[in-house]
Structures are given as structure tokens and as C-alpha cells.
Chain A
């Protein structure tokens, strides 16, 4: 399909705190091309994580429209939205959010349980994803037996195992030391440049943001400026 992968028009998000209305996003417009790599930066409370959650269909906007690959996700019911997430989005979290009782391989296999793939097919894909992030030898390890950097790489493998359209990353290096953070960013570079994955990454770290093709600065719920 031609045209941008992500189109956001007039996106508004407000939270209610008692009688008080707290605006987070104020009529934001945004377009992200296929294969783009976008860093979202801004001070705390600027709305970058909220934007990421809305792009991933984890939250509902107060007003405005989000179209991803031509699908207006605000029009999907909760079950359709869950199925859309499973097909179209890979999430990478700051705290990795791996399930502690599962091995690395089982964590990566998890999104594939929502597909019609057979068990051998699921395992083959999970192993391929783990190989891509360089963790084939840690497949049987549980999260507590891995370092933070390794956990995040398992998280990345889980995010890419379904071959989603869009990777949404919330402070992916925020809990890692510099070396582990660089390894994760190298992976994103490879996924973007070699696999053509579209990546949207929220970060406070200018070094991480510098790896992106575009850097969008949010302030008070609107796009303040763009670099790149």
C-alpha cells in the first residue's frame, strides 16, 4: 500500500482528575512513512508515552483519528483491536515486561499463540527471532537468569516474531547501561535498515534519539519541532 504507514489527525487526549480536565495531547497531527525510524522526545508530561500508547491501540483518544496502514483503529471494537495489535504492532517496554515463569523461548513464542501456526512452526519462528537478537544460547533461560540487556533483546525478539508493521518502543534503553543500550540500538538500526521495520521510539536519551532518522520534540501535547 502506498502512502504513510501512520497518519494522525487532530489527536487529543484528556484525562479527568476529579472535576479537573488534564489535557495531554492537544490536536496533534503526525505522519510517519513506511520504513521510518522516529524518536519521540520531550519533557515528562509532554505526552510522548501517551502518543505511543494511542498508536499501539492500548488507549482510546478523546478526539481525533489514527490510521495505521489504512485502518482507523478508533473504529475497532476491543476484540478486533486486540487482534489488530497481535497482527500489526510489536511493543518493546522499558522494563522488558517478560513473563517471569516462562523461558526466553516461551516468552518469544507468546504472541504466536494468537496465530494459527502449529507448535513446530511457532518454535521455529521463536528460535529464529532469538537468533536474530543473538540469544540462541539463552533460549531455555528464564528472565531472572538473564542480564538486563539480554532481557531487552528477548523483548525485541518477542516484538518482531510476528513480523509486525510497526515497532513501538517505550524508553527501550532507559534501564540499561551504555554498552547494553548500544547493543539494543544496534539491533534497532539493523531492523530498520535491513528489515525495513518502521520504528517509533520514546526516549529521554539524546544518544538513542540520534540513531533515529527523525526526532520529534513534543511539548505540552503538541509537536514543538522536528529534527532530521
Chain B
């Protein structure tokens, strides 16, 4: 019977909403704004995560100089790269071990939006570079020709930096490079990069036969330990070995943490503001219906259904705000490409905002929670209102 009472009162409350549309709209829009920020933040973190997840295969390992924090600070001489490629646990095909020595330099390009200079990773890869990347695909144009000053650009880089266009020419290392293709790599961080032939890049930047990293295809994901142990025991090299996924996770750990903490902090602070908006709405809703609530209680309705009905209305307003904010974030941000400086690698990381169903639902749940908190005190106030005073109110 209490449920029936609650439904009856809630239904009446909701029917009176049009008369209080101004206050209700403030709450819905306030909560919607908070949810939009939260959803955008989560979508950004999701985009980071996706970029890193796609970049990180479990059956590919990245080998860099021991003690280096990433590819940029690493250096491996040609013979060292050969030792790495010969380690047990690396998958072989008809052409030998599947290992890709790679050079990694940073070049300057202006950001498309701000015009400020940004560090863009420029990677030199050999023929094996494609055998250690499952998602690499040329989207437009063609692959660079070994031995020529040609490069292909990631689709993330194409969207983020000025001066990059298919068929265009850019100048790096006192050489003119023709852009002959655009590639994708499953949305990974690799799409922020420019790629050219390893040997051409080595000679341009006078690196001899040294490289910065070697990517190897493992016989199995578990073989990473075997490779690491073998190379640790080999006195000719001093390297560290990590699966590609672990390598990228480590590379962006601080950035992801900062984005998540910052976004969550901002959302919580805005959420507190939105709770006040919801409180205001529900207090005014209770005030506007003081006499109605008192009449219902005089007729015999209990206090609990009155509290519950106020809470249900607040939750519904929160839900409306959550859906509004989530949809607004989806329309405004989903799929939008952005980039940020990863200060651990000193390079620009491009990613796409991803408003996934999980992100959307998280935002809506947050909105419902805000509504619930905003309705609690006014609901209790409504139930504790003296009936005789309420009956006299105008």
C-alpha cells in the first residue's frame, strides 16, 4: 500500500512540474552541465586508454637500452640490435627472426589549432616494421619507397599538425620529404607519428647504424620473460624488455593519472554546485506544494511516501539532466580528435574522445546520484512539516 501511496503522490508531483518548469529546468541544465564535463573527461580518458590499448600488443616486446625511460633516451648500436634479434623466444618466419630495429627522433611542427610548435615523433622503420604491427594499414596514397626521402603520416598527425597533407613536402633534417601516404594503426599512439625508411632517417640525422629500440614478435605473450632473461644474461647488451602494452602503459601512466584525477576533481566540485541547484529546485517544489502535502497527510497519507515521492522526482530530474548532458557530450565530443603533450616522452599524443556506452552510463548514474542527494533534505523537510501549518499555507 505504501508503494501505491508513493506512486500516487509522485504522479501528482510530476503533473505539477509544468507549473514549476523554471526551477526544474535550472536543475536539469545544472546537472546536465556537470554530466557533460564528466562525460567529456571520461571520454578523453577512454580515448587515451584506447590509444594505449591498441598500441600495446601482448605478443610484441619493445627492447630499449637499460635504464632509459623510453625510446627517446635510448640508444642501441647496430650489433646490439642484432644480438637482441637473435634472442630465444622471438618468433621466426622464412626471413629469420621477426624483429624491427627502429629510429625515433622528434621534429617540430605547428599545432593546427593553436599554431604553437609541438614535438612530433618521426620514426624510421625497416621492412620488418610492419610485421610487428597487426593493425597498420595505408588509408590513402602508398607506403614510402626505401632509400627515398618519402614519409607516411599517421591520421592523428594529419588532423593535428599544420603543413601535413598528402602529396605535400615538409623539411626536416635539412632535407625535403614528400608525404606519400596516410596510415592508421587501430587508433593507437602510433597514429601521432611520421614514418620513413630507417636507413634514410639514420643517414639524415647522422646516426650511423644505431637505433633507439627494437620491436620483436614474441613466440607467445609469455615469451617476454624468456627474451628478457636471455638478454639480461648476455654480457654484450644492457637492455630492458617489456611487452608493448606494458611499455606504453608505463609511458603514459602519469598523463592518464593526471587527466583522470583532474577530471574527477573538477566533476566532483561541479557536482557539489549541481547538488545545490537540485536542492533549490526540490525545496521550491516542496514549498510550492506545502498545502497539497499537508492535505495529503491530513487525508491519511504517510510521511514515508511523501519523502519517497520527492526523491523520485529529484531522481527523475537528475536522470533527465544526465541524459541531456550525456547526449550533449556525445554530440560535441565523440570522435573528436585531440592531442596533448605526453611529458614522459616529450612527444605529442593524439587521441579521439570516446563516449562509449559505459562512459555514458557512468555520467547518467552520477546525475541520478546528484538528484538523489539534492532531493533528500527537501524530502525530509516535506515529511516533517506540521500538518496544521501546512494546511494554512497559501
Contact = CB atoms under 8 A, between A and B. Distances in A.
Contacts of B296: 99, 110
Interface stretch (A2-10, A79-87, A177-185): A79-87
Interface string A105-149: 000001101101000000000000000000000000000000000
A85 B298 contact: yes
A78 interface: yes
A59 B297 CA distance: 12
A114 B391 contact: no
A188 interface: no
A86 B387 contact: no
Nearest to A87: B300
Contacts of B331: none
Interface size, A (range)? 20 to 34
A60 B12 CA distance: 29
Interface in B1-39: 1, 4-5, 8, 12, 15-16
A26 interface: no
Nearest to B387: A58
A79 B300 contact: no
B1 A116 contact: yes
Contact of B301 (A58, A59, A82, A95): A82
Nearest to B294: A97
Given A82-B302, A114-B5, A101 B12 contact: yes
B388 A58 contact: yes
Contacts of A43: none
Contacts of A82: 297, 300-303
B291 interface: yes
A85 B387 CA distance: 13
Contacts of B284: none
A56 interface: yes
A3 B303 CA distance: 33
A99 B290 CA distance: 11
Nearest to A158: B299
Contacts of A110: 8, 296, 299
B301 A114 contact: yes
B105 to A, nearest CB: 71
Interface string A165-198: 0000000000000000000000000000000000
B292 interface: yes
Contacts of B294: 97
Interface in A52-96: 53, 56, 58-59, 78-79, 82-83, 85-87, 91, 93, 95
A16 to B, nearest CB: 13
A97 B292 CA distance: 7
B390 to A, nearest CB: 10
Contacts of A95: 291
Contacts, number: 63
Max chain A C-beta neighbours (<10 A), residue from B1, B4, B296, B298: B298
A100 interface: yes
B300 A78 contact: no
Nearest to B17: A101
B303 A53 contact: no
B295 interface: yes
Given A97-B391, A113-B5, A56 B299 contact: no
B300 A114 contact: yes
Contacts of A91: 298-299
Contacts of A28: none
A85 B299 contact: yes
Contacts of A111: 299-300
Contacts of A86: 299-301
A59 B385 CA distance: 12
A123 B16 CA distance: 22
B391 to A, nearest CB: 7
Nearest to B4: A113
Most buried by B among A83, A110, A116: A110
B383 to A, nearest CB: 10
A32 interface: no
A166 to B, nearest CB: 13
A102 B12 contact: yes
B394 to A, nearest CB: 8
Contacts of A83: 300
Contacts of B292: 97, 99-100
Given A113-B4, A113-B5, A56 B298 contact: yes
A93 B291 CA distance: 11
Contacts of A59: 386-388
B298 A58 contact: yes
Contacts of B1: 114, 116
Given A85-B299, A114-B301, 7 more contacts: A78-B302, A97-B391, A102-B15, A113-B8, A114-B1, A114-B299, A114-B300
Interface of B: 1, 4-5, 8, 12, 15-16, 291-292, 294-303, 386-388, 391
17 contacts: A59-B386, A59-B388, A78-B302, A79-B302, A82-B301, A82-B303, A83-B300, A85-B298, A85-B299, A86-B299, A86-B300, A91-B298, A97-B292, A100-B292, A101-B16, A114-B299, A114-B300
